[in-house]
Structure 1
Amino acid sequence: MLKETVVLAADVGGSHITLALVVKGHVMDSVTIKAEPIKGMRAYLPLMEQMAKQLVENNSLSFLDLAGFGMALPMLVDSKKNTVLSCANNKYEDAVEIDFEQWAREKFGLQIRLEVDGNLGCMGEWNYGAGKGVQDLVYVILGTGYGSSVVLGGQPLRGRNFTAGILAGHMVVNPMGSKCICPGNGCVESETGTWALPGIARKTEGFHTSLLAKREKIDYAALFEDHALNDSVATKILERSIMYWGASLVNLIYAYNPQKIIMAGSVIKAGDYIIPRLDAYIKKQLWTIGEYPEICKAQHFDTAALLGCYSLVTTSDEYE
């Protein structure tokens, strides 16, 4: 008999899919494959079935030993009905047509719970990481784009259309700014997202004589490296992003009054330059009563969503 509750977890991302066996606050074992979302979700379901079987066999378990199956998805999800509502940017667009509950029952004999990946990352940090013990927090992911999630009064924020707290990347920080992937212009994501950086860089004065102009790939890792080499263009772009990120955080603080802001994602993981600058920006701009919210790094950059899957399966009342 197992001493601990074990959950099957899946983190479906834009470039990789990870399946894992998770116990409370800990990933027992995991396996990851590369993914091309444009191929659709159905192309990867058989591979996920093989990955799951490999995991349980390698750990001398069976699917009967598992408490359930949690799945983190990069799309809008109805977490009550366990259905996908909407996909964007050619990411697994056929997922809206898939009956995930039937698939999980037939292939694994498990009940499945679906949730937005950012919400599950937030759940993982809230229960087992940087947000443990905090009743009011904002979780921000700076990666390819700008993701977010919110916990208020010790409850995950969802809203009537399951979008509350997760679309902060589309707050407008520059009304005359660049066209976003959403219908709007000047969203914090279109002004700072990694996907937007090449265009932003080319429009920056001095780009053609900068170190960035010599690079095949322009991302935040490149900006950090060239900033460290005193490249003025890289520094200018970083300062621009920090200004817009800072403005978005001020808006989030006014909206949700959090005790803590947890910063996650590949951009934050790549360098220690950003958080102190954001903290300084907020303290300069924010009109607040009492203490300023703490801004900190996430503790589980790569596994937060998997840990959140455990919470999703074992504490489902929070989602009812």
Structure 2
Amino acid sequence: MANQWIAGVDLGGTTTKIAFITMDGEIVHKWEIPTDNSNEGQNITTNIAKAINEKMNALGESKDSLLGIGMGAPGPVDYETGIILNVVNLGWQDNYPLKESLESAASLPAAVENDANCAALGEMWKGAGNGAKNLVCVTLGTGVGGGVIANGSIVQGKNGAAGEIGHITVIPDGGAPCNCGKTGCLETVASATGIVRLANEELSKGESIGELAGRLAVNGKITSKDVFESAENGDALANKVLKEVYFHLGFVLASIANTLNPDKIVLGGGVSKAGNILLDAVTENFAKFAFSAVRDSTKLALATLGNDAGVLGAAWLIKNKLNQ
């Protein structure tokens, strides 16, 4: 019998991750291609289809082995129609028919969902969610994404925009501008970009002593990793910045948990690589603001799948469709 694989695709602004995944959620093969967002993003789906075909040929597999393509895309997606409503950095016009474009390029059935929702589904299926049916996933990367799973299904919302945790306002007055057009979003303080912004703000006050200031002087810029490492080494300024980050994250996550009381809130994305330092401090703030019954039952955990969460969740979309 031929293999039965699903192509899972995690579409990003600069690179696109692709994987062949079995119905049991095992990654057989994974690779990435650059995302070509020139020419209003006209080449994106054809490039993905081409990459999949070339890889199948290289592996000596027939196209019949593929059951479909699941994709996570950065932006709100109407799951029923597969239309992506608006995208900041892929060149597409608003209301782009992504599912249709993918199906015609690849001649395979497709399913499309928001990328943070896919990461949440991946963690539910094969990761930290560990089969939990009620789960909130928060991706702390360049931005802050969120996915909400209730009773095993993604909460879509009216417009496919449910779970936009990164755009909860945390600084109502005088907050920094966010890419979404608002100011003071969680994304402006808790993403990698936000952490660097806060640190630069503190450093610009002329604070020239300490490890973080030293790293800035040597490298000309700092990263969120610099902030975490300096804080670990006792740098007062870095710790002051992270204290603010942990407060806002704990506060927002407690509010979300008070609304949903999920089994778990899973923290993923590049910033979560800080590990238990981040988890413990956010949990401490979470405990201050969570309702007692929620605090006792909803656990915070670190994502376990890393960069594979998105492709696995995307594959799960097809698996779920086939099982219906």
Q: What TM-score, normalized to structure 2?
A: 0.89
The answer to which of 201-210 and 232-241 deviates more is 201-210
Question: Counterpart of 1:67 in 2: which secondary structure?
Answer: strand
Aligned partners of 1:224 and 1:271 also within 8 Å:
no
Give the percent of matched residue pairs that are identical in Structure 1 and Structure 2.
24
Determine which of 124, 127, 135 is the counterpart of 1:126.
124
The answer to whether residue 84 in structure 2 is matched with residue 87 in structure 1 is no
CA distance in 2, matches of 1:142, 1:107: 32
Q: CA deviation at 1:312?
A: 0.4
Query: Which residue of the partner structure matches residue 302 of structure 1?
Result: 307
- How many angstroms apart in 2 are the aligned matches of 1:223 and 1:37? 32
Q: Amino acid of the residue matched to residue 31 of structure 1?
A: W
1:211 is matched by which residue type in structure 2? G
What's the CA shift for 1:206?
4.9
Q: CA deviation at 1:38?
A: 6.5
Per-residue CA deviation, residues 162-190 of structure 1 (Å, 9 max, x unaligned), is: 1122x111111221222222232221111
Pair 1:288-2:292 in alignment: yes
From 216, 240, 249, the counterpart of 1:213: 216
Give the 3 Å change call, closer, same or farther, for CA 37–108 of structure 1 in structure 2.
Answer: closer
In structure 2, the gaps of 5 or more residues are none
Distance apart, 1:99 and its partner CA = 4.2
Alignment partner, residue 156 of structure 1: 154
Which residue of 1 is the match for residue 319 of structure 2? Answer: 314
Change (3 A) 1:38 1:227: farther
Residue 200 of structure 1 is matched in structure 2 by 198
Which residue number in structure 2 is paired with residue 61 of structure 1? 61
The aligned residue for residue 11 of structure 2 is 12
1:2, CA displacement in angstroms? 2.7
Distance 1:28 1:169, change over 3 A: same
The answer (yes or no) to whether the contact 2:68–2:110 under 8 Å persists in 1 is yes
The answer to whether the 8 A contact 1:31-1:51 is kept is no
Structure-2 change in CA distance of 1:275 and 1:51 (3 Å) = same
Tell whether the 8 Å contact from 1:207 to 1:213 is kept in structure 2 after alignment. Answer: no
Shift in alpha-carbon separation, 1:40–1:302, aligned structure 2, 3 A: farther
CA contact (8 A) 1:79 1:114 kept: yes
Against the structure 1 CA distance between its residues 233 and 114, is the aligned structure 2 distance closer, same or farther, given a 3 Å change threshold? same
Shift of 1:33: 2.3
Q: Deviations over 1:171-226 (max 9, x none)?
A: 11221222222232221111232223443223214544423532333222111222
The range that moved more, 99-108 or 118-127, is 99-108
**2:170 counterpart of 1:173:** yes
CA distance in 1, matches of 2:207, 2:35: 33
Q: Distance in 1 between matches of 2:285 and 2:194?
A: 23
TM-score using structure 1 length = 0.90
Q: For structure 1, which segment, 290-299 or 125-134, has the greater mean C-alpha deviation from structure 2 after superposition?
A: 290-299
1:71: which partner in 2? 71
The SS at the match of 1:33 is: strand
Bigger shift: residues 53-62 or 258-267: 53-62
User: Hey, what's the Cα distance between the residues in 2 that align with 1:186 and 1:9?
Assistant: 34
AA in 2 matched with 1:80: E
Give how far 1:134 is off: 1.2
Instruction: Quote the residue 1:230 is aligned against.
Output: 234
Distance 1:45 1:175 in 2: 39
Aligned to 1:68, the other structure's residue is in SS state: strand
Aligned pairs for 1:39-50 within 5 A: 40-50=40-50
Separation (CA, whole Å) in 1 of partners of 2:180 and 2:147: 18
Unmatched segments (≥5 aa) in structure 1: none
What is the root-mean-square deviation of aligned Cα atoms in Å? 2.3
Which residue of structure 2 aligns with residue 264 of structure 1?
268
Aligned to 2:54, the other structure's residue is in SS state helix
Counterparts of 2:11 and 2:43, CA distance in 1: 13
Alignment partner, residue 246 of structure 1:
250
The answer as to 2:34 corresponding to 1:30 is no
Give the aligned residue type for 2:310: A
Asked if 1 retains the 8 angstrom alpha-carbon contact of 2:5 and 2:65, the reply is yes
Q: Which amino acid aligns with 1:298?
A: A
